Chain A
Amino acid sequence: MNDLTTTVNQIAEREQMFQTDRNAPVITGAEILVCTLIKQGVDTIFGFPGGSVIPIYDVLYDTKEIKHVLVRHEQGATHAADGYARATGKTGVVIVTSGPGASNTVTGIATAFMDSIPIVVFSGQVASSYIGKESFQEADIMGITRSITKHNFQIKSVDDVESVVKKAFFIARTGRPGPVVVDLPVDVMRAKTSFRPDTSEVSIAGYNPFTISDMESITQAAEIISKSKRPVIYAGGGIINSGAGQELRKLAEKMNSPVTTTLLGIGSFPENHPLSLGMLGMHGTWYANNAVTKADLLIAIGARFDDRVTGKISEFAPDAKIIHMDIDPSCINRNVKSSLALVGDAKNIMRKLTPIVSRCDSDEWIEKINKWKKEHPVYKEIKTSRGASAQKVIKTISQMTSRNTIIATDVGQNQMWTALHYTFTIPRTIITSGGLGTMGFGLPASIGAAIGMPERNVVAIIGDGGFQMTSAELATAVHYKVPVTIVLLNNGYLGMVRQWQQLFYKKRYASTEIGSSNPDFIKLAESYGAKAVRVDDIESFKSAFKKAVDDDSPFLIEVIIEREENVFPMVPAGESIIAMIEEE
């Protein structure tokens, strides 16, 4: 059977007759898999073939409904699927082969797990009778990924393919989203069975993601809020996952409460709004960290009190009552004890809460914060000894791009500069690895985001260190003509580690200098067939950037930046979040 689309259509036509029609088509596990993916609405798969998944690729070869994006490394597939999921709100899908194919996905799966991103990774597996025998390209991916997935499955029978795949997607995208691995022994993919699609809803005994917070607790929250004079809303990635940006804005405006976001919460509240405090935490704004520390009420929504947010936990929001709203009850009271917990979907809770909250008596508080904003601005011009100031580059990108541009970052200084100096105003416009902090994430994630949102401009902001971890994905970008603009900030250092060494290790730059052995990034990009240009000042950056954004293919701009420019403010590890270093 080669024409899968025809088969799917036939199946769809027959669905209503199945009650009486016993002549269901006999198809392979691989065909059932692809049929089920189509029914799940999958339009894109990021993957890399290998021996044990050839039966699946053979089916994909004829499948018009799904675009397969061939990456250059399986880690790139998972990051691309992750970027696709973050940008579109849909579930990212990956297919890789057994053994090294599967084990290469580990970093990408862990990245998605830490940031609650829905991806489903299909890993090939050796034939069932070969499992556990140290067979060629065998890896126990179930054991390996157990602690970095929301759940994982190994399909034992061709008759279970559809039900497991449906469960995998249901688990990945509902509740607190996360990655799911489905391990596919090759014999199960080759096996045939008579297949009739099951149209019933997924039901899993131990899994009820649709928790609804009780009205009594919501009323209690409204009462606590009404007494607050110094409220702060601390918004996390849960707002983005819930699609609750509008609800957050309504709540904040009705309460007259400032809003600070986590790194993953950026975009959930417009940063040009008068109530915005920007990001809090280790590299948070001075006024966000001070507002949290002096607040009498902290409302955490879809955030988990990560150590990069709280700093020294005993000194975090010491005077505040804490209301914690989260869909995951295991986050409640884990790091910080809350006065009141509301477990459920952020959007649902806020829709019930906002109508019954009253405006806080917080004018004086807002006035004080506005004064802090003037006294402690985030952006400060720096003098450079060579090249451009990275902060100024980010500021310039912010000024030159439309508000719906998607910005993907790598990890390190480039990421923090972007978080601090780019003004994000709408959800799903920043694609960044927060929890795991995965260098190498930026390029493949930007490719996934650009493929998922072809109508948007996508800019990847990456350092010279992280870029080299996954630079082979330039080939993917060129092959699929992905119009991503790559801004490569080159300071010749693993910059964030160097910054720590400068500030806390007496400038002993152990193994952080990479400039002397970096490749010629222009030649590298051009060798893949990408356009590339090197600049070292803001004016030439501006003209290069305009050209790159207008171009409909991958375009790399290498920006030579000041070698030892630092990210400020910065809270030394383990200190209170108001113990900020603001400048050199």
Chain B
Amino acid sequence: MNLFSIVAEDSPDILARITNHITGKGIEIKSIASGPAEKRGMVRITLVTEISIESASVLKNSLEQLISVISVKPLCSKSFVARQFAILKVKLFSGEYHNAMEVVKSFGGRIVKKGKDLIVIELIDEAAKIQSVINTLNNFGVVESAQSGIVAI
């Protein structure tokens, strides 16, 4: 997995420019997340692909050639922090609430909405851990899952 932290000029079509460029090279985007960067008028985009190290280097160079892109930093393992955000809607049968709570707590999640037989959980963690929570909660029944792209720095 290759992570890139891209800083670019904020414009209505910046995501289209970047995604067009990448997919035009036959590279699949595994995850992309964009938000304001520390500098006004700039966005920081976290991009995740699964390509070889050589291809990642070529992709970095070619992304840097886009006029709207200010910088492209490949994020190497151990030296960055990456998180994903997920909201899960879990169906519960009577008597399962406490067990489900235990699972959520053990993963540092939070219940943000509680219904008669449904709970809505939010999680912020590494992508792999979020997947692990989903797998565990599937024992109860995850009926809806919404996940953000990976954000890293």
State the A residues within 8 Å of B (CB): 142-143, 146-147, 150-151, 171, 176, 204-207, 328-330, 332-334, 337
Contact = CB atoms under 8 A, between A and B. Distances in A.
**Chain A to chain B: the 9 pairs with minimum beta-carbon distance, closest first:** A330-B62, A330-B61, A151-B67, A206-B70, A329-B61, A147-B24, A334-B58, A330-B65, A146-B20
Contacts of B13: 142, 146
A565 B151 CA distance: 60
Nearest to A167: B67
A337 B57 CA distance: 12
Interface in B10-33: 13, 16-17, 20-21, 24
Given A146-B17, A328-B65, A206 B9 contact: yes
Given A142-B13, A333-B54, A333-B58, A206 B21 contact: no
Given A330-B61, A333-B54, A333-B58, A207 B67 contact: yes
Contacts of A171: 67
15 contacts: A142-B13, A146-B13, A147-B20, A147-B21, A171-B67, A205-B9, A206-B8, A207-B67, A329-B65, A330-B58, A330-B65, A332-B61, A333-B57, A333-B58, A334-B58
Given A206-B68, A206-B69, A329-B64, 8 more contacts: A143-B16, A147-B20, A151-B66, A151-B67, A151-B68, A328-B65, A330-B64, A334-B62
A146 B16 contact: yes
B18 to A, nearest CB: 10
Q: Contact residue range for chain B?
A: 20 to 34
B16 A150 contact: no
Nearest to B68: A206
Contacts of A142: 13
A580 B36 CA distance: 55
Interface in B117-153: none
A204 B8 CA distance: 12
A329 B54 CA distance: 14
Contacts of A143: 16
Most buried by A among B20, B21, B58: B58
B35 to A, nearest CB: 18
A77 B57 CA distance: 37
Nearest to A343: B61
A328 B61 CA distance: 9
Given A142-B13, A146-B16, A204 B67 contact: yes
Most buried by B among A146, A150, A332: A146
Contact of A205 (B17, B24, B70): B70
A578 to B, nearest CB: 26
A228 to B, nearest CB: 26
A106 B62 CA distance: 22
Nearest to B39: A205
A65 to B, nearest CB: 28
Given A147-B24, A329-B61, A333-B58, A206 B16 contact: no
Contacts of A151: 66-68
A207 B13 CA distance: 18
A330 B21 CA distance: 13
Contacts of B64: 329-330
A329 B62 CA distance: 7
Interface in B51-90: 54, 57-58, 61-62, 64-71
A45 to B, nearest CB: 23
B1 to A, nearest CB: 21
B59 to A, nearest CB: 9
A416 B67 CA distance: 35
A206 B67 contact: yes
A330 B57 CA distance: 9
A207 B64 CA distance: 9
A143 B58 CA distance: 24
Contacts of B54: 333, 337
A214 to B, nearest CB: 17
Most buried by B among A142, A171, A205, A332: A205
Interface string B27-51: 0000000000000000000000000
B67 A150 contact: yes
Interface in B85-135: none
Nearest to B17: A146
A176 B57 CA distance: 19
Contacts of B70: 205-206
Nearest to A143: B16
A146 B57 CA distance: 22
Contacts of B16: 143, 146
B79 to A, nearest CB: 23
Nearest to B58: A334
A151 B20 CA distance: 13
A151 B8 CA distance: 14
Contacts of B58: 330, 333-334
A205 B71 CA distance: 10
Contacts of A147: 20-21, 24
A206 B54 CA distance: 24
B10 to A, nearest CB: 11
B45 to A, nearest CB: 13
A253 to B, nearest CB: 33
Nearest to B41: A205
Most buried by B among A142, A206, A334: A206
B62 to A, nearest CB: 4
Contacts of B69: 206
A510 to B, nearest CB: 29
A142 B69 CA distance: 17
Contacts of B65: 176, 328-330
A143 B65 CA distance: 18
Contacts of B21: 147
